[in-house]
A and B are shown apart, each in its own frame.
Chain A
């Protein structure tokens, strides 16, 4: 690993991390450099760094997510924070509590860091305006998922040594994907060439002006790509509303060895998970030599440690 630590101590003058949008490239690189250290910590027997000792982190998930929630939980614990998980979908929302009510309740508990996942775009921003602590967006509807884009960038950089001038093809349901939006912004900020590959029904309007090259034909879209980033297709979108059927989607947009052969020989395959094997990705590719999918999970914890640490440095009384 040859990561240059020149950005390690670049300031991160933000109270919240609500999205990749608005971050400067040096701030992104700073987080990635911090995350490199976190990778080392996580690989030790003693996985502790007590920078968040005494701090309270609440993971507030309005939408179920085992992997993101446990990743944030582990990140907080490795930094010494007291971490509490709140799954809201089952309880207070059903009783009619509004997001603002939830914020007031949370304020009374005096958390320092609040990690939020919500099904509605912009909900995390609304909450951030109403609480007294730092907020990390863990995914707000189809809007942004900044830590996913950061972990993807970290994974890519560790394998390719850089982001700039790489060709990254993001394939699948772009319309409904917060992962795609955060990645498009981040990869462009760091100088990558970004492509999107999808049927027109899964591309948002105005996509050609979002800083990407658009392909409807997957083979064309993968030609010469360094990174193939697959997205999950929700099951309810496969039966006729956006895509006629699973078998047709797999035929034209599922990543198999034949389609992957159009990318560069050393192309790497990524997926934010959870995967639908046989829908958007063939099992042999998902578990194959070019796949970085398991490593992405490891980098997820590291990137979240970096984000929590950077935000904690800006907390009052620090």
Chain B
């Protein structure tokens, strides 16, 4: 055992949920050397390793630590909004043990040396796992291919053009083909930038507000294009943030055709709709825009039936400089690391999505898509674990937000479900007090 290895830990008297094997049963989790020795009912009466810390979970849920596939951090370039350190503290408080960082920083993460920078900064400052996503195109300009091979070797886990779509279909086709040669996953924000144009969901609401609209078709058309290109290139594709019922239909059809595709959604689009914008509250301005209630319901159904594979926070810290503007001039984006799990539990409390499916969309399914060994309570896997009480009520107070930026659409929101303890590689990085 290394000198700095955490001491053994036993999480006893827990309700153990391991979505990877469909497990939801009373039991324990035994952790030593930073890895899982045993988890579930079979671990309940196994005793404990010498010198172990024993935590009585008192019936709370213990599940794999959450993996958030889409997290923007201000480091490098906008450390005043968020650093890897502050983001990791927010993540730990939200039960997230792995964050995948978006490459849309300044400079853009499109060079192997910058991937290395993120990994070193994370090693030195972050309390959760940080997995860098690298740029799909140089400077995220959608014109020239980034060095997929070298970036992957440096440690990039997937490739994305950030919150910008690759508009040129020829470029996207070649990127997909080239990425496939390296078995690299392409994560895409599918929204036609010309058609999108506007600043909120197109429709009656936008018309009354006097705001230009982003039609749903901007997303659907780009998604349909992308899946045709996936068919040509046979690449691995993840639609990062879908928001309309037709998008879910497109994904369903694509999966039936045997394409290697998955779909994701931000928690905001599962818990809010365009009516929440109210009096031009810019914390609800995001891309894709919040849609109407029918779309939100369709999205929840798509999570429940597995069409949507992955739920992410789409954490995007913005400060007053970028948010306190008239709606049309304000930046997109909302923070979400600390509220991802609590907000997602709303879908379970509303009896719309069962807990194993819901947690699976934030644990084993992103892990499988990225080829990670975390996201499951398997023997020998890294001991990344979240313990939470699904029913404990709490209110998100702005002053308690750990992120450097406070642009949460959940400010003053009431939640049922509180993270009690977050464990990363056997080390407790957060406890609720």
Contacts and interface: CB of A to CB of B under 8 A. Distances in A.
B366 to A, nearest CB: 26
Interface in A197-246: 199-201, 216-217, 239-245
B144 A240 contact: yes
Contact of B178 (A201, A239, A251): A201
A216 B174 contact: no
Interface in B133-163: 137-138, 143-150
A239 B147 CA distance: 10
B177 A201 contact: yes
B181 A245 contact: no
B181 A199 contact: yes
Contact of B180 (A200, A217, A239, A248): A200
A49 B137 CA distance: 58
Contacts of A244: 138, 144-150, 178
Contacts of A242: 145, 174
A241 B146 CA distance: 10
B174 A241 contact: yes
A200 B147 contact: no
B168 to A, nearest CB: 10
A199 B178 contact: yes
B71 to A, nearest CB: 25
A240 B181 contact: no
A200 B144 contact: no
A201 to B, nearest CB: 5
B233 interface: yes
A216 B149 CA distance: 12
Contacts of A200: 177-178, 180-181, 233
Contact of A252 (B143, B144, B149): B149
A201 B145 CA distance: 11
B149 A241 contact: no
Contacts of A251: 149-150
Nearest to A248: B147
Contact of A243 (B137, B143, B145): B145
A240 B135 CA distance: 13
A247 interface: yes
Nearest to B181: A216
B174 A201 contact: yes
A245 B148 CA distance: 10
Contacts of A248: 147-150
On chain A, which size bracket covers the interface? 10 to 19
B203 to A, nearest CB: 39
A216 B233 CA distance: 13
Contacts of B146: 244
Interface in B71-120: none
Contacts of B180: 200
B177 A241 contact: no
Interface in B175-204: 177-178, 180-181
Contacts of B148: 244, 248
Contacts of B233: 200
A240 B149 CA distance: 13
Contacts of B138: 240, 244
Contacts of B177: 199-201
Nearest to A217: B181
A244 B233 CA distance: 17
A217 B180 CA distance: 12
Nearest to B234: A200
B6 to A, nearest CB: 38
A239 B149 CA distance: 14
Contact of B145 (A217, A241, A252): A241
A287 B174 CA distance: 33
Most A C-beta atoms less than 10 A away, residue of B145, B146, B148, B150:
B145
Contacts of A247: 147, 150
Nearest to B111: A245
A199 B174 CA distance: 10
A247 B180 CA distance: 19
A247 B181 CA distance: 17
Contacts of A245: 147
Contacts of B181: 199-200, 216-217
A216 B148 CA distance: 14
Nearest to B148: A244
A245 B147 CA distance: 7
Interface string A43-63: 000000000000000000000
Contacts of A216: 181
Interface in A34-82: none
Contacts of A199: 177-178, 181
A247 B150 CA distance: 9
Interface in A230-274: 239-245, 247-248, 251-252
Interface string A181-208: 0000000000000000001110000000
Nearest to A243: B145
B150 A241 contact: no
B180 to A, nearest CB: 6
A244 B146 CA distance: 5
B294 to A, nearest CB: 40
A199 B177 CA distance: 8
Nearest to A203: B177
A280 B147 CA distance: 16
A203 to B, nearest CB: 9
B425 to A, nearest CB: 32
Contacts of A241: 144-145, 174
A238 to B, nearest CB: 10
A247 B149 CA distance: 10
Nearest to B170: A241
A173 to B, nearest CB: 13
B263 to A, nearest CB: 24
A240 B145 contact: yes
A116 B131 CA distance: 55
A7 to B, nearest CB: 41
A248 B233 CA distance: 20
A247 B137 CA distance: 16
Contacts of B143: 240
A200 B178 CA distance: 6
23 contacts: A200-B177, A200-B178, A200-B180, A200-B181, A200-B233, A201-B145, A201-B177, A216-B181, A240-B143, A240-B144, A241-B145, A241-B174, A242-B145, A242-B174, A243-B178, A244-B145, A244-B146, A244-B147, A244-B149, A245-B147, A247-B147, A247-B150, A248-B147
Cβ-closest 5 pairs across A and B: A240-B144, A200-B177, A216-B181, A244-B147, A244-B145
Interface of A: 199-201, 216-217, 239-245, 247-248, 251-252
Given A199-B177, A251-B150, 15 more contacts: A199-B178, A200-B180, A201-B174, A201-B178, A216-B181, A239-B144, A240-B138, A241-B144, A243-B178, A244-B138, A244-B144, A244-B145, A244-B146, A244-B148, A248-B149
